[in-house]
A and B are shown apart, each in its own frame.
Chain A
Amino acid sequence: MSEAVFDELIHAPRRLQICAMLAAVDSMEFSTVRETLGVSESVLSKHVKVLNSAGYVTMTKATRSSHIRTWLTLTAAGRDALAGHLAELRRIAELATAVHDVQD
């Protein structure tokens, strides 16, 4: 189980969604991620670049009939960081329940 660590980089709403989507599969095509999130190409590119620089996501380009398809994969470091971040979010979310229980 991953240690609960808040990750500022992953916490940005779009980046958290991108990582959560990629964690469920082996890899996903850039255009599929864009359609699923309902964001523009430039917005997704910006977030993917940030995740790629952090070593959380790798990009693989495949050319077919002069059309370039980019596949995104969450790295092991990315999976660990996401698991730790989600664990931290769960810990914070449970604080409210714990406070309510004490007050009751």
Chain B
Amino acid sequence: MESSASQPENLDPAAAREALASAANARVRAVSRAAAPWWYHVGMGVFPGLGIASISLRGDFVTIGPIVGAIVAPAILTWALKRSTGISLNRYYATPGVRRLGGLYTTAFLLLFVAGLVVDIAVRTYWPLVLSGTLIGVLMITWGFHAERILHKELR
């Protein structure tokens, strides 16, 4: 590794401002390219929502549904997004604002899931987890678009 730290020679304030503007412009262009399309956020809500709702079908769906909906499908969507944009970015964790938002939404998801599960066990019917999965799916879509706006604002 070579050392490259040195004192600036012949670098006036105007040149420094120009370099800063150039760096800021490049950053904005990179962030613009990282924008996730609508199908990504919709998919990141629909599949986990279906995965949770499928638990109400009992049998193998209790394990396969959540695994496919909440783990496999999001992983495939993230891989497809990375491949289509040429950019890898953890959009649910990249900036402080997005992390704070993630904490709030995760708490809401856990509460909804636990509430759905408890009612499902108590009344032994299918609708509590279907309702819980639907609400979680809608919230996840909202979270995705909300996080995207905050992410782009903070990254710029």
Q: How far is the CB of A38 from chain B (nearest CB, A)?
A: 10
Chain B minimum-CB-distance residue to A9: B4
Chain B minimum-CB-distance residue to A29: B86
The segment out of B8-16, B38-46, B63-71, B102-110 that lies at the interface is: B8-16
Chain A minimum-CB-distance residue to B1: A55
Residues of chain B within 8 A (CB-CB) of A93 are 13, 16-17, 20
Residues of chain B within 8 A (CB-CB) of A1 are none
Across the A-B interface, how many residue pairs have beta carbons closer than 8 Å? 111
Contacts A10-B4, A54-B1 given; indicate if A25 touches B22 (C-beta within 8 A).
Answer: no
The 0/1 profile, CB within 8 Å of A marked 1, for residues 112-139 of chain B is 0000000000000000000000000000
A–B complex contacts, Cβ < 8 Å, 21 sampled:
A7-B4, A7-B5, A8-B5, A11-B19, A17-B26, A20-B23, A22-B30, A24-B27, A24-B155, A26-B94, A27-B87, A28-B86, A28-B88, A36-B26, A36-B33, A53-B1, A54-B4, A55-B1, A86-B20, A93-B13, A93-B20
